[in-house]
Amino acid sequence: MSPDKKTFIPRVLITEAAMDTIDTLRKRFGSELMFHQSGGCCDGSSPMCFEKGDFKVGGSDIWLGEVYGCDFFMNSDQFEYWKHTELTLDVTPGRGSSFSIEIPMGIRFMIRSRLFTMEELENLIPTKTGEEVLEEGSIK
Amino acid sequence: MTTLTLSQSKPVERPEIKEKYDHFIGGKWVAPTSGEYFDNISPIDGKVFSKAARGNKQDIELALDAAHAAFPTWSKTSAAQRSKLLNKIADIIEENLEMLARIETIDNGKALRETRAADLPLVIDHFRYFAGVIRADESSISEHDEHTVSIALHEPLGVVGQIIPWNFPLLMATWKMAPALAAGCCAIVKPAEQTPTSIMVLMELIGHVLPPGVLNVVTGFGPEAGKPLASSPRIAKVSFTGETTTGRLIMQYASENLIPVTMELGGKSPNIFMKSVADADDEFFDKAVEGAVMFALNQGEICTCPSRILVHEDIYDVFMERVIARTKAIKMGHPLAEDTMMGAQASNDQYEKILSYIDIGKQEGAEVLCGGDKAELNSGLETGFYIQPTIFKGHNKMRVFQEEIFGPVVSVTTFKTTEEAIAIANDTMYGLGAGLWSRDAHELYQVPRAIQAGRVWVNCYHNYPAHAPFGGYKKSGFGRENHLMMLGHYRQTKNMLISYDKNKLGFF
């Protein structure tokens, strides 16, 4: 199998409820969306949703892949501790704070995690830096 | 799992809380321009107890207008007068401590014994501290030579934006408001979505003390009210406490406006227990055990939560046995009951997030030493957000050792040498708080110096005096809060370089 035909295992999955929320937000904002996984205090460790391009990514960010058509990023030092886990983007009722755009809906994106198996770890989708993503213009 | 039957004292009475609160702008209560309000849910029972104004860009602009109108006068108001008003605010809060403590508990979910003994007394003291320091504060002057004098004079920055977290709604607001007002700035405060009510009750009490426009509070959602505030070209600074992604976004806006920011972004604080801690089973050992259990203070919702216990392997058994027993003795219950030791998590999404971390901790192979699940309480608390204080044992590369869970969850690991303890302590993205417990005089100085954190508690933990600077190293942010140095974060320096020489230089 040539490398470009290899089927990679995605790092980020998504629940139906999260897909519905993304559809609603796309319609409301009339634009594509992006996610950046946060860390730290308060609402840290939650994924933040923005209109595509509103959050400036760069060389210190890692692109984990696309989830339901949205680029999903995380800071590289945080990724070091997360890279062995499969992330599932979910949504839960709750009044989160932060600038994530779903918050006025009274719901909050959240991440559920599972450990990858040793076999899966060898076949994960290759990551890129945020800078590489910007240079390419679009991800495919 | 089984539901815990509560046997405890009756919750205290709830103070009267209005059905809804408007913004406080320009010394007046102003309805949101959209006419919309949003529900504020109490974590105690998951039920709506009040509504907050749903602020937007127009409301922020009104607040900016009011603050800019007030600034020319406020910035020239004497230190004596500013000090007097801050003291007056402190006195009013003190007279209403019990009522405010109860409302803070209803808003945030933390136990009443904490709002009574910590949150509100610290709020009062912080206003008094900054009322005090501006009376003694001086600018500097230096004579460069016999004809040249340099005056470095402090001037307030202007109108500042302050974005408040929900873990200590009144105290974190005070950490930002008191020094800004003391420094002569006017402020626009945006409380957290989860806890927009207690600060409005506070404004009902103190709003009339300050001239209109000096202090404005606009409630609302981050993307609708926080973003227009943080990105406004009409503010001179943003102070933010929260998480890293929003911190970066606020810095992105600040870079567009070329204004300074202060960032307090959390941590994963190590609490180190050296071998000498267990040299005797005495008062100090008991204090150290309490120091380890401090992870459960405020349900773990503190940026400096000592969420990693690093204990010398030789004392692990004797120490952790006591820590586990003390953790199991934490009485959970109705946050408004006087004997409750730990209350509810602040919101449903936090509750879900904490449970997802407990899940990944178990998946990664961390051993649950106690807790490890939600706490199902009865007596009307079934729909509240309660989690058992949880201790994991594992290693520092696990996600539960690396990420801020912001819940009553601590992860313990052991070390063999001082060097290893320091290496584990520093193996984190963050550097906000740390604890060091030892009976060895040398370690008491050398180990804290080696830890990359802005605050190292030595033989104590979770004290927050106004008189000690607080802030982060590494990804925990920059800038400081508390201490008179905070005035410097709300002022800039006007240098007047004066020549008293009548003679020309001779260049031209």
DSSP states of B232-294 as a string?
-TT-SEEEEESBHHHHHHHHHHHHHHT--EEEE-----EEEE-GGGGGSSSHHHHHHHHHHHG
Q: Are strands B159-163 and B215-217 parallel, antiparallel or unpaired?
A: unpaired
**Chain B residues within an 8 Å CB radius of A83:** none
3-state class (DSSP) for residue B310:
strand
B372 in contact with chain A, both atoms CB, cutoff 8 A? no
**Chain A residues within an 8 Å CB radius of B243:** 38-46, 98
Mean pLDDT, residues A88-117: 92
Reported as a pLDDT band with limits 50, 70 and 90, residue A140 is very low
CATH architecture of the domain with range B270-458: 3-Layer(aba) Sandwich (3.40)
Q: Is the pLDDT of residue A116 over 90?
A: yes
pLDDT for the residue numbered B146: 96
Report residue B375 as tokens: 């706490």
B34 in contact with chain A, both atoms CB, cutoff 8 A? no
Distance CA B193, CA B419 (A): 43
Each residue of B16-42: b (16+ CB within 10 Å) or e? ebeebbbbbbbbeebebbeeebbebbb
For chain A, give percent helix, strand, coil, nearest 5: 25, 35, 40
CA-based nearest distance B148→chain A, Å:
47
Rounded to whole angstroms, the maximal C-alpha distance in chain A is 48
Inter-residue contact B447 to B422 (CB < 8 Å)? yes
Inter-residue contact B367 to B412 (CB < 8 Å)? no
CB-based contact A41 B194, cutoff 8 Å: no
φ/ψ (deg, to 5) at A57: -90, 165
**B128 CB-near residues (< 8 Å, 6+ apart):** B86, B87, B90, B466
3-state class (DSSP) for residue B335:
coil
* Alpha carbon distances (Å) from A115 to A23, B321, B355, B365: 28, 30, 16, 10
pLDDT for the residue numbered A55: 96
Rounded to whole angstroms, the maximal C-alpha distance in chain B is 90
φ/ψ (deg, to 5) at A124: -75, 155
Report residue A118 as tokens: 């040793």
**Chain B residues within an 8 Å CB radius of A78:** 244, 403, 429
- Among candidate residues B264, B301, B404, B481, the one labeled active-site is B264
pLDDT for the residue numbered A1: 46
Reported as a pLDDT band with limits 50, 70 and 90, residue A47 is very high
pLDDT for the residue numbered A44: 77
Q: How far apart are the first and last CA of chain B?
A: 89
Exposure of B376 by Cβ count < 10 A (0-12 exposed, 13-18 middle, 19+ buried)? middle
Distance CA B415, CA B273 (A): 10
Q: Closest Cα partner for B32 from B65, B61, B70?
A: B61
**By CA distance, what is A54's nearest residue in B?**
B249
Q: Which amino acid is at B21?
A: Y
Choose among A55, A94, A101: nearest Cβ to B348. A94
Choose among A42, A101, A112: nearest Cβ to B243. A42
CATH number for region A8-128: 2.60.300.12
Domain ranges of chain A: 8-128
Q: Is the pLDDT of residue A3 over 60?
A: no
3-state class (DSSP) for residue B459:
coil
Instruction: List, in sequence order, every beta strand (DSSP E) within B44-195.
Output: 47-53, 140-145, 148-156, 159-163, 186-190
Taking residue B146's Cβ as centre, other Cβ atoms within 10 Å add up to: 8
B209 in contact with chain A, both atoms CB, cutoff 8 A? no
- The boundaries of every CATH 3.40.309.10 domain in chain B are 270-458
Q: Which amino acid is at B338?
A: E
Inter-residue contact B478 to B471 (CB < 8 Å)? yes
For the CA atoms of chain A, what is the radius of gyration?
A: 15
Q: Which amino acid is at B138?
A: E
**Chain A residues within an 8 Å CB radius of B405:** 45
Best B221, B359, B405 member to test A by mutation, with max A CBs in 10 Å, is: B221
Distance CA B17, CA B201 (A): 8
ipTM over 0.90: yes
Inter-residue contact B480 to B454 (CB < 8 Å)? yes
φ/ψ (deg, to 5) at B402: -115, -20
Please identify which residue in the block is written with the tokens 């070209």: B233
B149 in contact with chain A, both atoms CB, cutoff 8 A? no
pLDDT for the residue numbered A5: 60
CATH architecture of the domain with range B20-265+476-494: 3-Layer(aba) Sandwich (3.40)
Distance CA B488, CA B479 (A): 10
Is B204 a catalytic site residue?
Answer: no
Exposure of B224 by Cβ count < 10 A (0-12 exposed, 13-18 middle, 19+ buried)? buried
- The boundaries of every CATH 3.40.605.10 domain in chain B are 20-265+476-494
pLDDT in tens, chain B (508 residues): 566 667 778 999 999 999 999 999 999 999 999 999 999 999 999 999 999 999 999 999 999 999 999 999 999 999 999 999 999 999 999 999 999 999 999 999 999 999 999 999 999 999 999 999 999 999 999 999 999 999 999 999 999 999 999 999 999 999 999 999 999 999 999 999 999 999 999 999 999 999 999 999 999 999 999 999 999 999 999 999 999 999 999 999 999 999 999 999 989 999 999 999 999 999 999 999 999 999 999 999 999 999 999 999 999 999 999 999 999 999 999 999 999 999 999 999 899 999 999 999 999 999 999 999 999 998 889 999 999 999 999 999 999 999 999 999 999 999 999 999 999 999 999 999 999 999 999 999 999 999 999 999 999 999 999 999 999 999 999 999 999 999 999 999 999 999 999 999 999 9
Inter-residue contact B166 to A42 (CB < 8 Å)? yes
Report residue B503 as tokens: 């003679």
φ/ψ (deg, to 5) at B435: -130, 145
HEC string for A63-97: EEEEECCEEEEEEHHHHHHHCCEEEEEEEEECCCC
Taking residue A139's Cβ as centre, other Cβ atoms within 10 Å add up to: 12
